[in-house]
Structure 1
Amino acid sequence: MAWRDAKASRVRLLLFMASIILGIAAVVSIQLFSENLTNNIQLQSKSLMGADFIIKSKQLPSANAQRLIDSLQPDASEVRFVSMIAFPKNEGTKLVRVRGLEGDFPFYGDLETTPTAAASQYQSSGGALVDATLLLQYSIKPGDSIKIGEITLPIAGALQAIPGNNAISSSVAPLVVIPNRFIEATELLQFGSRREYQFFYQQPEVDLERLEERLEPRLELEDAGLDTHISTSKRLGRRYENVGSFLNLTAFIALLLGCVGIASSVNIYIKEKIKAIAVLKCLGASRKQSFLIFLIQIAGIGLLGGFIGTALGIGLQELFPYLLKEFFPFDLQISITAQPILMGIFLGLVMLVLFALLPLLRTWYVSPLEVLRFSGTTFTESKKARYMAIGILVLFLYGFSFWLLKDALFALAFILGVLVTFAVLAGIATLSMKLVKKYFPKGAHFTTRQSLLNLFRPNNQTVVLLVAIGLGTFLISTLYFTKDILLDKTELGQTSQSANLITLDVQPDQIGEVAATFKTNDLPVIDNIPLVTMRMHSIKNELVNTLRIDSTTQVKEWILNHEFRTTYRSELINSEEIIEGEWVASQQEGKVVQISISDNLAEDAQVGVGDVIVFNVQGVQMETVVTSIRKVDWANLQLNFSIVFPKGVLENAPQFNVLTTYAATEEKSAGLQRDLVSKFPNVSVIDLRQVYTVVEGILDKVSWVINFMAFFSILTGIIVLIGSVRTSKYQRIKESVLLRTLGAKNKQILSITALEYIFLGVLGSLVGIILALFSSFLLAVFVFEEAFVPSFIPFLVFIPGISLLVLAIGLSNIREVLKSSPLEVLRKTN
């Protein structure tokens, strides 16, 4: 009976199936991708690092640290830092990351260069390996020269790839690799210069977990650290977990949307089968038999939909390495595993049955007397059975969300958020029907009255259509608004008061000449900021060395190991505000040194106003007291500081300066950089416009990926929309035939249908955008802490676009009525 009835209703059942195929495809493709990513990270962890383990230090290793490093017999070493370089051939300049290598690094993975021989010969030939993209940008080729500080080296080859490097960091500061023996001759490592020393080890037989446990505490005491390829693998895995969770949830929402459409469509489908079920019961069919007939139908299309969706997901996951290649430091190798495939088939079956369970319960309570009744239903469903079905559904959704997120609280928040969103959309749809019914315009034109009447007539699709349209529009619009918030947050003000060029590592004896160079290039000095480096010696009378080995401390690890760059000034800047205590402009004689710290530092160091911190300033201990805590907008692209001293304290401390200016054109910027590199090789210049371009490019890539995933939701919504509209096709046909029989013209029937679906399309898309505005406003205020200025794109594109789509689907339902005679149509539908 299930098979026979399914053949008669195959078009509608196929639409049910289509509603979940895309959701299953999205879930399966992302699950396969996540598994492949995890496996690739584990397999390639050595190649990503280039060694078995590395010892790092952000300063020249102390005597004790050097003894530890030497005792393990390093196989290679390097010093890395950021600096300006120049190409003598065309006077091009660029901020780069320099790695001075010594030894046969990497031990795992490949140092890829063009020509290939440059990777093995650059050490002996004394040449430089330069980022391939940088060479293309400046029309430089191997054989030309590069000036690094006070030395000029031949370019041995174009650098394509090296372990420990990625595309995003290379976009900001491309990589240049030179032999370590030339580093001293560059004269770039001066006081205050940021540098990092790394020592590489190839010792595959070493127990890395035991080594880390034994060596890490001793290295931390010497301001050094240990990194193993195992810890790198774990760290990378955690970094991409959030991306995977977000993509999983987006796919899950698409699946939920499809299932909601199915629940509504099955509800209409079962309503139309009430008479047939009553006839079956008159002929002796039991409750169980009538229930199983339709349960088998739903389970069958769920199983088939699971197979099709899984097959589609296998194909789709091949796209993700291409879409996300910019974010991975390795080439992703794709393979097929069994778990996501089995999960996709299981989801198709279980999700479809669970969401169809409530409508299916109606078949259990149908009375044989229904066959004699002409309208309405008198049977009542069991509230206990209904609540049990709802409880099973919610528990399953929570369990699946927990499996995706691996966090009980997040899973609960997600389910509650989904339920609230669906409830708001359904509530607005119900309210709209009540308002139209209450204020029904009886004096309006016939076609207008009839179209509005259709919104609350029996078997109407107002709720499911508004939910499908609204949720899809909500997702896409939220993505657009959020992207705008992020871009606005990083936007640079193009005024002469906003610095867009920052010169770093200016030594005290160079300030006058650097300022004169600014003036020569007709550029103003906007800021001259002194920087003093220091470390924390003790926090609230507890030594930092003691806190490092205290497993119970609440102080964050970075606080204990960080070398702070601090400044001194008498006033706040526009990215700061005092949230606790009082700002001290200048130090008063006879008092403990008073400092202001940022709110994140106060939280991570577990200190507040009145607490004492002792700093080690170039070997001299300085006791300070926190007198104020500042809220700092770190997203503001200007120089912000965690620790600010008042005037009258650090003026005589060893320091260097940062000078900023505003260059209106790229030509002005390039001219200044050329002059500074030729006169002051140690000075680095950061062009914030280039940084902004990179940030914007990254955000564009991220938003593109997110939009691609949200496309599954909107496409699923469209299919649900088609399915929901087509489900009520026969009811609409009968109504239209009756109208034609009573004398209605084709134009009137078209107008009635068009007005109804335009109302649904406009209302659904408008509600979705309004919800997106509200959620984006909350994100802007509470997450990004920014003013929210919405984009007009969703209003201009989605409202008319979706309304026209809904209209086209609705009008396609009545083509048969308009082309045929009323009697012919009635014969076909009965």
Structure 2
Amino acid sequence: MMMALSLAWRQFRSHWSAGDLRVLFLALVLAVTATTAVGFFTDRIDGALVRQGGMLLGADLLVSSGKPLPDSYQQEAQRRQLSSTQTMEFPSMVVRGEHSQLAEIKAVDAEFPLRGELVISEQVAAVGVSDTARAADAIPSPGSVWVEPRLATLLDVKVGDLLEVGERQMPVSAILEREASRGGDMFSFAPRLMMNLADVPSTSLIQYGSRVKYQFLVAGDAEQVRQYSAWAQANAGKGERVQDVSAARPEIRSALEKARQFLGLSAMVGVILAIVAMFLASLPYVQRSLDTYALMRCFGASRKLIMQILLWQTFMTGLLGSLLGCLLGYLAQVGLASLAGSLFLETLPQPGWWPVLTGLLLGFLTMLAVVWPHLARLTDVPALRILRRDLGSIDRHHWLSFFPGIAVIAGMIYWHAGSFKLGSATILIFLALLLLIALMAWAGQHLLHRLSDGRGGLWKLGIAGLKRRPGMAVAQVAGFSLGLMVLILLALVRGDLINNWQASLPPDAPNRFIINIQPHQIEGVKAFFADTDIPNAEVFPMVRGRLIALNDTPLDTSKYVDERARRLAEREFNLSWAADMQADNQMLEGRWWTRDEHGQPQLSLELDLADTLGLKLGDWLTYDIAGTQLKVEVTSIRKVEWDTMRANFFAVMPPGLLESFPASYITSFHLPLGNDQALNALVREYTNLTVIDVAALMEQVRGIMDKMTHAIEYVFVFSLFAGLAVLYAALVATREERVREATLLRVLGASRRQVVLAGLIEFACIGVLAALAATLAASALAWYVSALILNIPYQFNLLLAVLALISASLLVPFAAWLGMRGFLDQPPRQLLHSM
């Protein structure tokens, strides 16, 4: 064992000095760096999401119910040494003089919040947050209240004014600028008024039949919170809901998940390219090692000893490359974190050790995947190869050794993708791209061969190089294509895809919702839109209904194992009707109704709801609407883009079915700066309206897109370097053979200029084929990312494709000329001595 280790170390230093291992080592470092950089970054993002999710909940976990919660929740929290607090939320009218406004009252105790903070100010700012804003060091004192700026504006109150809250007259002691626990469903709240929990009984607001949400919040050690969550979910009674940080701000989490998926894809492209570069770089290393091990076999080295030497070399390369990659990955993630850190309320937490372990595992598995196909060749090399150079080449038996390495690479792709669907799609697309590239290379070679027939001179000499190495020519085209593909894809991503992604949330996206619009108020709301020059604002009807039966069988919600499915089945839905499908909806199954089908019992369902509840086309659903049952058939399933912030519905019916039921209306629109007073005047005219301001949420989602755009570009730098490594490795793979050919041509009388031009013609042909394949492959990948990941339309960029084709056709022969300069400047006699 020690002999094998000593010999392995000597050979490792020898190959490193000769340059055989440098490209392979560099590609390995790039693969591990890209993986660990994204791993460290996403680990910090996950930690920040958990912490910020806790700030949005005001705790690590909360239990809510429409009735007082049992004492067992508090007793269990005390047993696990978790901090806890209780709150109450309920709607009530708040009065000041002749003005009244529906408010969402939140009563809290002295321990609130357990996570995050309350930000208060002394006055309402004209725009944004007041300059006097500060973190509160306590909750409202007994007998006083805090109000949100919107409520203060609606009631025209300032700090010190009295408000009538139930039977109490209570002064406003502060303006509530920001509140922990404001995450979750953004349609569940009116303007906020916060008061001390001890004041609730004296207001006489809570009476029999009052709609109150009781909440019990806990925070503490992560493991204890996880165990408490499991206990609470197992012991939750009917109507009691356990909510953790994963449910906070679903719109923001959706944007971050999409960005993280894109980051993972970017890193995965770099890893695949690095593996290709490693394999190409291993070919000359193996060719030189065959002679070394054949000589060792002459001196009696056993197959076992050679295997041990190879495994030790693999371990050394994998360990050193992985450690260096992990170190560079940690340094690289600092740049990523600086790009995204401002998205969160606090600084990003430090990453854990898991990315280091995954980076080391990736490094060793990658080395094993690359080396494994060559182990059989190197361990079985005959001693006779010293005399016969043809011995030790790959045969059919050795080709089978590629499958374990392919399996390892496929496994890494699945792991890196994070989902079976994305991993499978990536593998299939990658294989399809390789097949496309190989077919184009093969067809291109045959076309070039035909074009060279009957020709002489340098053109025929250049094409002859492709004829002598048909397999390597295909491999070089594939390698060049993959490297160039990343360059083209980077330009496409930076130019078209990111712009389209950001355009999916345009600057004029809705930032206000108005709910509780009554039928007689619709004309007044539309007049407000006209007076404030707000275009394309639609008003949609809403009817509350509960699903009670599926295909004439009463709905048993206990059969749903998934908590979200059970919750959806138990809740009331906002049903709506429409003659036409909204423009941002996509029909997936079935069809929309025609004008002649208005009034027929049809239903269009949203895809996620249908999948969660197991509903399909042809199912008959029965809804209970205000005590009346309505039975409808599922005739279509739609895909809805919820993060566009437009009003959308899970369930839509044709006109003529719901008009007889009590309905309210909802609208979403973009309110330009400076029109807040006009909106307040509308609310004063119709006091029942509830306006929901999502401008801050929109800015946060848009900020995520902007920051993640730069993060994605940052990660693609690794893919860029990996692509360049593929280009260089493909040149190195045939360098020795080209040295021999150039030497023979020089000996036979060819000038340096003729040898250079012949080589440039060969590589120009390879470059043209590679550029065509790379352009098609990059466009296909761009379409895949656009359609399947970002869910945005893709348009082929012809100008960029032409520029990429011209640039790539010049880049490859230029790179080849740089690689050939070293040995072309040497005299033929010196080249003969070095062979």
Shift of the 678–474 alpha-carbon distance from structure 1 to 2, 3 Å rule, reads: same
Residues 765 and 799, structure 1, Cα contact 8 Å, conserved in 2: yes
| 1:312 Cα offset (Å) | 1.4
Alignment-mate amino acid for residue 216 of structure 1: A
Matched, 1:594 2:619: no
- Of 530, 536, 543, 1:532 maps to 543
1:465 maps to which residue? 479
| 1:22 Cα offset (Å) | 1.1
Aligned residues: 763
Residues 32 and 340, structure 1, Cα contact 8 Å, conserved in 2: yes
CA distance in 2, matches of 1:201, 1:686: 25
| 1:745 Cα offset (Å) | 5.3
CA distance in 1, matches of 2:674, 2:770: 51
- Of 320, 324, 338, 1:322 maps to 338
| 1:328 Cα offset (Å) | 5.6
Shift of the 399–644 alpha-carbon distance from structure 1 to 2, 3 Å rule, reads: closer
CA distance in 1, matches of 2:407, 2:332: 29
SS in structure 2 of the partner of residue 567 of structure 1 = strand
2:356 maps to which residue? 341
CA distance in 2, matches of 1:32, 1:279: 46
The within-5 A match list for 1:790-801 is 790-791=796-797, 794-795=800-801, 798-799=804-805
SS in structure 2 of the partner of residue 814 of structure 1 = helix
Matched, 1:149 2:154: yes
Matched, 1:22 2:30: yes
1:261 maps to which residue? 277
| 1:773 Cα offset (Å) | 2.8
Deviations 1:450-501 (A, max 9, x none): 4433344446562453354255357647756654664565669x9xxx9998
1:774 maps to which residue? 780
The within-5 A match list for 1:331-730 is 331-337=347-353, 340-373=355-388, 377=390, 383-387=396-400, 389-400=401-412, 415=427, 417-440=429-452, 442-443=454-455, 446-458=457-469, 462-463=476-477, 465-466=479-480, 468-469=482-483, 472-473=486-487, 476=490, 479=493, 483=498, 486=501, 503-521=514-532, 527-543=538-554, 547-551=556-560, 556-568=565-577, 575=585, 579=590, 594-598=601-605, 600=607, 601=609, 604-606=612-614, 613-617=621-625, 620-627=626-633, 629-635=635-641, 639-645=647-653, 647=655, 650-651=658-659, 653-658=661-666, 666=672, 673=679, 676=682, 679-680=685-686, 683=689, 697-730=703-736
- Of 196, 220, 238, 1:218 maps to 238
Alignment-mate amino acid for residue 409 of structure 2: L
1:90 maps to which residue? none
Residues 259 and 705, structure 2, Cα contact 8 Å, conserved in 1: no
1:10 maps to which residue? 18
- Of 161, 170, 194, 1:179 maps to 194
Shift of the 400–645 alpha-carbon distance from structure 1 to 2, 3 Å rule, reads: closer
Deviations 1:504-528 (A, max 9, x none): 4333343343344445456678745
| 1:260 Cα offset (Å) | 2.5
Alignment-mate amino acid for residue 373 of structure 2: L
Alignment-mate amino acid for residue 559 of structure 1: L
CA distance in 1, matches of 2:420, 2:156: 58
Shift of the 715–121 alpha-carbon distance from structure 1 to 2, 3 Å rule, reads: same
Shift of the 537–69 alpha-carbon distance from structure 1 to 2, 3 Å rule, reads: farther
Deviations 1:410-429 (A, max 9, x none): 76665555444444434443
Residues 336 and 714, structure 2, Cα contact 8 Å, conserved in 1: no
Alignment-mate amino acid for residue 720 of structure 1: V
| 1:309 Cα offset (Å) | 1.4
Deviations 1:121-146 (A, max 9, x none): 6657645566xxxxxxxxxxxxxx97
Deviations 1:347-378 (A, max 9, x none): 434422431333453334544444445xx615
Shift of the 309–701 alpha-carbon distance from structure 1 to 2, 3 Å rule, reads: same
CA distance in 2, matches of 1:725, 1:360: 23
CA distance in 1, matches of 2:815, 2:273: 19
* Paired-residue identity, %: 19
CA distance in 2, matches of 1:252, 1:571: 41
SS in structure 1 of the partner of residue 794 of structure 2 = coil
| 1:640 Cα offset (Å) | 3.8
SS in structure 2 of the partner of residue 454 of structure 1 = helix
CA distance in 2, matches of 1:439, 1:755: 13
Matched, 1:270 2:286: yes
| 1:287 Cα offset (Å) | 5.3
Residues 617 and 634, structure 2, Cα contact 8 Å, conserved in 1: yes
Alignment-mate amino acid for residue 226 of structure 1: V
Deviations 1:321-354 (A, max 9, x none): 43444666664321552x5435534543442243
SS in structure 1 of the partner of residue 334 of structure 2 = coil
Alignment-mate amino acid for residue 641 of structure 1: F
Deviations 1:100-159 (A, max 9, x none): 4533363423416465464436657645566xxxxxxxxxxxxxx974433433498898
CA distance in 2, matches of 1:255, 1:352: 12
Shift of the 610–439 alpha-carbon distance from structure 1 to 2, 3 Å rule, reads: closer
CA distance in 2, matches of 1:699, 1:693: 10
Mean CA deviation greater in 258-267 or 403-412:
403-412
| 1:20 Cα offset (Å) | 0.9
TM-score by length of 2: 0.73
| 1:21 Cα offset (Å) | 0.4
SS in structure 2 of the partner of residue 789 of structure 1 = coil
Shift of the 258–515 alpha-carbon distance from structure 1 to 2, 3 Å rule, reads: closer
1:815 maps to which residue? 821
Deviations 1:212-245 (A, max 9, x none): 24653421xxxx6232579989999999889777
Shift of the 811–685 alpha-carbon distance from structure 1 to 2, 3 Å rule, reads: farther
Residues 523 and 661, structure 1, Cα contact 8 Å, conserved in 2: yes
Mean CA deviation greater in 269-278 or 18-27:
269-278
CA distance in 2, matches of 1:174, 1:233: 14
1:120 maps to which residue? 138
Cα RMSD (Å): 5.4
- Of 79, 87, 102, 1:77 maps to 87
CA distance in 1, matches of 2:373, 2:592: 59
Mean CA deviation greater in 5-14 or 779-788:
779-788
Residues 569 and 644, structure 1, Cα contact 8 Å, conserved in 2: yes
| 1:18 Cα offset (Å) | 0.7
2:162 maps to which residue? none
Gapped runs of 5+ residues in structure 1? 84-96, 131-144, 190-194
CA distance in 2, matches of 1:656, 1:682: 11
Residues 497 and 794, structure 2, Cα contact 8 Å, conserved in 1: no
Residues 532 and 675, structure 2, Cα contact 8 Å, conserved in 1: no
Shift of the 503–750 alpha-carbon distance from structure 1 to 2, 3 Å rule, reads: farther
Alignment-mate amino acid for residue 138 of structure 2: S
